[in-house]
């Protein structure tokens, strides 16, 4: 599974940023950053990690915020895109570390080191062993440190299986939560593990984390009608609605993606 995902991400790495450059993604990214920001370490000498960094969208923001940041992706072509962006960044790039590695096993990264890890764009769903990945995140997080990670929502994927009309496929999906990312080349199709808000919480708790919340992204299914993003001040108005709707944690159930925030307890070693 891991090698199919790597092949796919290696192929799309160079055009990746243009795929996600439209008003919907600007809205989505602003929402994400607003959810990450409260967890930035207060102490600027602490280290951050961008897991499944892709072209570095989140790690570069952390680096620009002044933190020493490690970028990890199992696609070497993605890591290369980050390296190129760093070339244009001047002295701040000196605080960046790049690593091509599979997040389920990262012996290169030290124990108890990172104060904030972000794993955005669902690398947890894409990887071959989400529990091993969560355990690794726990190992490398310092006591009191935070992980913010996204994953595919099993409950939202049910519609697809109902529309397909294949009862056997629906039964299998409800049992195991596994689905496939269907890209045109067969050898690049990779399996995804989906989670319910509760099963995602359990995954992190089994690793040792205390979970402070599971939110959904996005509650408003704006991808189905991007015209809503064209109205005056649309992004700010829609962010306001998301904030209001997110007050009820149950809203996560209808979202395509879940975002968990988990803390390594202070007493953990």
Chain residues binding ligand SAM by CB under 6 A are 2, 5, 9, 52-54, 57-58, 72-75, 78, 102-104, 120-123, 126-127
The residue among 104 and 262 lying less far from ligand SAM, judged by its C-beta, is 104
Give me the least distance between CB of 45 and ligand SAM, in Å please: 24
Cα 260 to Cα 200: distance, rounded to the nearest angstrom: 8
Give me the least distance between CB of 100 and ligand SAM, in Å please: 8
Q: Report whether 155 contacts 92 (CB < 8 A).
A: no
Can you tell me which residue has the tokens 């890591």?
79
Give me the least distance between CB of 120 and ligand SAM, in Å please: 4
Cα 212 to Cα 200: distance, rounded to the nearest angstrom: 12
The residue among 73 and 188 lying less far from ligand SAM, judged by its C-beta, is 73
The residue among 139 and 268 lying less far from ligand SAM, judged by its C-beta, is 139
The residue among 122 and 242 lying less far from ligand SAM, judged by its C-beta, is 122
Cα 116 to Cα 46: distance, rounded to the nearest angstrom: 8
Strands 190-195 and 141-153: parallel
Give me the least distance between CB of 14 and ligand SAM, in Å please: 12
Q: Report whether 108 contacts 71 (CB < 8 A).
A: no
């Amino acid at each position: 599974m891991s090698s199919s995902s790597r092949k796919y991400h290696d192929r799309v790495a160079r055009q990746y940023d243009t795929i996600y450059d439209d008003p919907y993604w600007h809205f989505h990214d602003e929402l994400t950053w607003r959810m990450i920001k409260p967890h930035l370490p207060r102490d600027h000498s602490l280290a951050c990690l961008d897991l499944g960094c892709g072209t570095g969208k989140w790690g570069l923001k952390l680096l620009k915020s002044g933190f020493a940041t490690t970028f990890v992706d199992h696609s070497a072509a993605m890591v290369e895109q980050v390296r190129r962006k760093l070339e244009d960044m001047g002295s701040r790039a000196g605080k960046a570390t790049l690593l091509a590695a599979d997040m389920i096993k990262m012996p290169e990264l030290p124990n108890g080191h990172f104060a904030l890890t972000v794993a955005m764009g669902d690398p947890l769903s894409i990887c071959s062993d989400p529990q091993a990945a969560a355990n690794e995140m726990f190992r490398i997080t310092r006591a009191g440190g935070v992980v913010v990670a996204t994953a595919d929502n099993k409950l939202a994927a049910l519609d697809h299986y109902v529309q397909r009309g294949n009862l056997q496929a629906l039964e299998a999906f409800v049992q195991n939560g596994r689905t496939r990312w269907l890209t045109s080349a067969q050898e690049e199709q990779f399996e995804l593990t989906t989670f319910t808000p509760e099963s995602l919480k359990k995954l992190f708790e089994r690793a040792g984390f205390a979970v402070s919340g599971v939110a959904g992204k996005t509650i408003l299914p704006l991808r189905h009608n991007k015209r809503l993003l064209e109205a005056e001040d649309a992004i700010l108005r829609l962010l306001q609605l998301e904030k209001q709707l997110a007050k009820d944690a149950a809203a996560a159930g209808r979202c395509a993606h879940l975002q968990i925030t988990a803390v390594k307890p202070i007493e953990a070693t």
